[in-house]
């Protein structure tokens, strides 16, 4: 039987219990069609990148489905008719992932990154407590700033001094 990963977005107005009810309804629809739903993950109420049907947020739900195409097509047809479902996407995959999805891991990874090699967290000092490039010098190490001028802040550049060999000619 083909394997699918399915994600749908439910309106922000519905409660999490109503989202669970929708998920259960679609699970029974898949079961009646001769398939089964493996792992189901609720990713939470998240901000949308842009408004969808006047909604700025949506409940995200992810399902691993192992079912014939006809059952998945019927589920998608009913989702399209439902006012509570904003968007949905079904992708056929070779194998289902066994570990939790990246959305479920997201919160725990954030704690691991804090206090990393840069230290200090937000706005804290970087390595060595200096600028990004390592100090008050320019990248070429001259300390003359971005335009190569002298350290006095003047933009005037004097002519090169004549050497003794040039004066003798």
Q: How confident is the model at residue 49 (pLDDT cuts 50, 70, 90)?
A: very high
Kindly report the CATH number that applies to the domain delimited by 3-97: 3.30.70.60
Name every residue whose Cβ is closer than 8 Å to that of residue 129 and which is 6 or more positions away in sequence. Answer: none
72-114 pLDDT, tens digit each: 999 999 999 999 999 999 999 988 877 777 777 776 555 555 5
Structural contact between residues 74 and 33, judged by C-beta atoms closer than 8 angstroms: yes
Q: What secondary structure does DSSP assign to 45-85, as a single string?
A: EEEEEEEETTEEEEEEEEEEEE--HHHHHHHHHHHHH-SSE
Q: Which pLDDT score, from 0 to 100, does residue 71 have?
A: 93
Closest listed residue to residue 22, CA positions, set 101, 97, 100, 83: 83
The reported pLDDT for the residue numbered 46 is 92
- Orientation angle between helical segments 69-81 and 16-32, nearest 10 degrees: 150
pLDDT greater at residue 23 or residue 121:
23
Q: Write down the pLDDT at residue 154.
A: 62
Confidence of residue 148 (pLDDT cuts 50, 70, 90): low
Q: What is the mean pLDDT of residues 112-141?
A: 55
pTM of the model: 0.60
d(CA 167, CA 162): 7
Q: So what's the pLDDT on residue 10?
A: 95
pLDDT at 164 over 90: no
CB atoms within 10 A of CB 8: 25
């Amino acid at each position: 039987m083909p394997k699918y990963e399915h994600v749908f977005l439910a309106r922000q107005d519905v409660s999490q219990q109503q989202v669970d009810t929708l998920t259960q309804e679609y699970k029974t629809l898949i079961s009646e069609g001769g398939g089964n739903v493996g792992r189901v993950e609720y990713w939470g109420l998240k901000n949308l990148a842009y408004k969808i049907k006047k909604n700025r947020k949506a409940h995200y739900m992810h399902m691993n489905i192992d079912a014939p195409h006809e059952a998945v097509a019927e589920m998608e047809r009913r989702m399209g008719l439902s006012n509570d479902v904003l968007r949905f996407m079904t992708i056929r995959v070779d194998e289902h992932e066994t570990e939790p999805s990246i959305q479920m891991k997201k919160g725990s990874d954030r704690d691991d990154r804090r206090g990393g090699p840069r230290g200090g967290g937000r706005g804290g000092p970087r390595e060595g407590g200096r600028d990004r490039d390592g100090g008050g010098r320019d990248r070429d190490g001259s300390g003359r700033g971005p335009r190569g001028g002298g350290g006095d802040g003047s933009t005037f550049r004097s002519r090169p001094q004549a050497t003794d060999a040039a004066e003798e000619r």
